[in-house]
Amino acid sequence: MDHEPGEKYPPIEPYDHGMLDVGEGNLVYWEVCGNPDGKPALVVHGGPGSGCGAWARQYFDPDRYRVVLFDQRGCGRSTPHASDPAADMRYNTTDRLIADMERLRVRLGIDTWLLYGGSWGSTLILAYAEEHPDRVSEIVIPAVTTTRRSEIDWLYRGAGQIFPEAWDLFRAGVPEAEDRPTPDVLAAYARRMESPDPEVRARATADWCAWEDAVLSHETYTGPPPYSGRPGRAQQALVRICSHYFSNGAWLEEGQLIRNAGRLAGIPGVLVHGRFDLGGPLITAWELAKAWPDAELTVIDGAGHLGGAATSRAVLEALDRFASR
């Protein structure tokens, strides 16, 4: 395909899709696009609970990649949807998402695949790759996170030093957790998202999204606000899943993904991180790059969590380079 380096590829549609039964009553939506004989790549979306977006397909050369996208449990087109209070969140955990990815790989007959994704997606990518390093060919991550409790504490408390007005409102949304540590505040939001009262869930969703948007308010983006601009059902699923995961430290031992980064030896990685990412400060990407011998870190001056043109170019260049590897 004729293509200008550093430019996104034209929109494409899936040539195959389906629902994967992963047990415990959950069905995970998946789709495949690009070249059926191309290099396999898996897109791992963020959130947790954002769902996969069609925009992610445009980072891959459709002539050279077989691109797989999926909606993690409880969001997007997967069922049961977390916006439904009847959906049981006990079956939505990090280890189950890793197992779902493995089931999908086997279902699609893929031996090894490149992993791409940022923010929460990078946490899930690293957790999967450290458990199944023999199934990963390369990794490309914009906006590195490892969901350490220290990172969660920064996002849901520490960043309040920069946005005190917004943090006071976020904190006031759960007055029952007054003067409690960050995990208790997040657990209070998680409990509200389990309420049978739709007004309680709607209020908690609005308060959570307002805080997330505040942390991104210094960044340049087009369209509606990244969190509160989502459709209501998608918003509620996102907040319910986020509060569930973050109040439990994503069921990861503190620091385990960086501590175990030696398991990634031999897997080429490209990390792209904005210097002014207030949602996930650069220190995490820096520490990961030092611990992972085959990773290269590109710092984008002036960029934040959402990235921008320079971030996109760095990701596209990495994916184009790995396409022929």
Answer whether 108's CB lies under 8 Å from 33's CB: no
Q: How far apart are CA 158 and CA 162, in angstroms?
A: 8
What is the sign of the dihedral through the CA atoms of 106, 48, 274 and 58? positive
* Mean pLDDT of the 10-39 span: 98
- Per the residue annotation, which of 119, 122, 243, 312 is the catalytic one? 119
pLDDT at 93: 98
pTM of the model as a whole: 0.97
- Per the residue annotation, which of 45, 305, 312, 320 is the catalytic one? 305
DSSP 261: G
Question: What are 239-248's pLDDT values in tens digits?
Answer: 999 999 999 9
pLDDT at 181: 79
Task: Tell whether the model's pLDDT for residue 233 goes beyond 70.
Answer: yes
Task: Give 168's contacts (C-beta < 8 A, 6+ positions apart).
Answer: 160
142: three-class secondary structure by DSSP: strand
- Per the residue annotation, which of 61, 71, 100, 277 is the catalytic one? 277
pLDDT at 223: 87
Question: What are 237-280's pLDDT values in tens digits?
Answer: 999 999 999 999 999 999 999 999 999 999 999 999 999 999 99
Q: How far apart are CA 143 and CA 141, in angstroms?
A: 6
Task: Tell whether the model's pLDDT for residue 2 goes beyond 70.
Answer: no
Question: What are 147-197's pLDDT values in tens digits?
Answer: 999 999 999 999 999 999 999 999 999 999 877 778 799 999 999 999 999
* Mean pLDDT of the 98-105 span: 98
Predicted confidence band at 43 (pLDDT cuts at 50, 70, 90)?
very high
Q: How far apart are CA 124 and CA 131, in angstroms?
A: 11
Q: How far apart are CA 283 and CA 275, in angstroms?
A: 9
Answer whether 47's CB lies under 8 Å from 242's CB: yes
First to last CA, the chain: 17
CA angle 210, 212, 216 (to 5 degrees): 110
CA nearest to 185, candidates 198, 202, 167, 197 = 167
Tokens of 283: 């220190």
Name the pairing type of β-strands 26-34 and 65-70: antiparallel
Is residue 119 annotated as a catalytic residue, yes or no?
yes
79: three-class secondary structure by DSSP: strand
Answer whether 41's CB lies under 8 Å from 316's CB: no
